[in-house]
């Protein structure tokens, strides 16, 4: 008959394994450890830890203050407006917004106070020959038309309530 092979494994000591890994970590991650020490020192120098300790110590008062501030109707409107502005900015084509930013910079940003002499009537009429001017007027006109329609819809909705 066959005899079983005896297998005797030494008992595993997880603490000893962790200690060995920890001793090797200094060598394997030396650069990262030095960077983290430098970051900790900068946080300490800028008193970030003091601010965090103070915030944690006064966390109940901070939460109460924040909650009481958000309960006002102005705060609710401000949060709703911020969400709407975020949606609005997300819906604008970045190329159009870039064009507006360039136009504002070229028109208003070139001097401390833009000096634009009012053109004469004939000069103004002659500027309508330029397709760029007509394109921008059409753009503004379309915006005002949509805005007027929205104001009309909102006015009708409010008068029904």
Q: Which of helix, strand or coil describes residue 57?
A: helix
pLDDT digits (tens, 9 = 90+) for 1-42: 678 888 888 888 889 889 988 888 888 889 998 999 999 999
- Count structural domains, the chain: 2
Residue 97 lies in a domain: no
Confidence at residue 110, expressed as pLDDT on a 0 to 100 scale: 63
Residue 114 lies in a domain: no
Q: Which of helix, strand or coil describes residue 76?
A: helix
The rounded distance, in Å, linking the Cα atoms of 41 and 28 is 22
Residue 156 lies in a domain: yes
The rounded distance, in Å, linking the Cα atoms of 43 and 48 is 5
Question: Whole-prediction pTM value?
Answer: 0.44
Residue 115 confidence class, pLDDT cut points 50, 70, 90? low
In Å, how far from its chain's centre is CA 146?
A: 28
pLDDT digits (tens, 9 = 90+) for 141-155: 999 999 898 888 887
pLDDT surpassing 90 at residue 46? yes
Residue 91 lies in a domain: no
Expressed as residue numbers, the domain containing 149 is 119-161
């Amino acid at each position: 008959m066959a005899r079983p092979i005896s297998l005797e494994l030494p008992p595993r000591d997880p603490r000893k394994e962790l200690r060995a890994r920890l001793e090797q970590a200094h060598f394997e991650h030396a650069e990262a450890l030095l960077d983290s020490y430098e970051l900790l020192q900068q946080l300490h120098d800028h008193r970030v830890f003091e601010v965090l300790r103070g915030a944690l110590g006064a966390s109940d008062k901070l939460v109460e203050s924040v909650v009481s501030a958000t309960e006002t109707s102005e705060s609710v409107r401000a949060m709703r407006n911020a969400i709407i502005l975020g949606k609005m900015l997300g819906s604008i084509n970045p190329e159009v917004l870039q064009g507006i930013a360039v136009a504002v910079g070229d028109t208003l940003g070139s001097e401390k106070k833009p000096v634009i002499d009012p053109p004469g009537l004939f000069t103004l009429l002659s500027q309508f020959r330029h397709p760029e001017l007509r394109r921008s007027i059409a753009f503004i006109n379309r915006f005002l038309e949509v805005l007027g329609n929205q104001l009309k819809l909102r006015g009708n909705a409010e008068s029904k309530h």
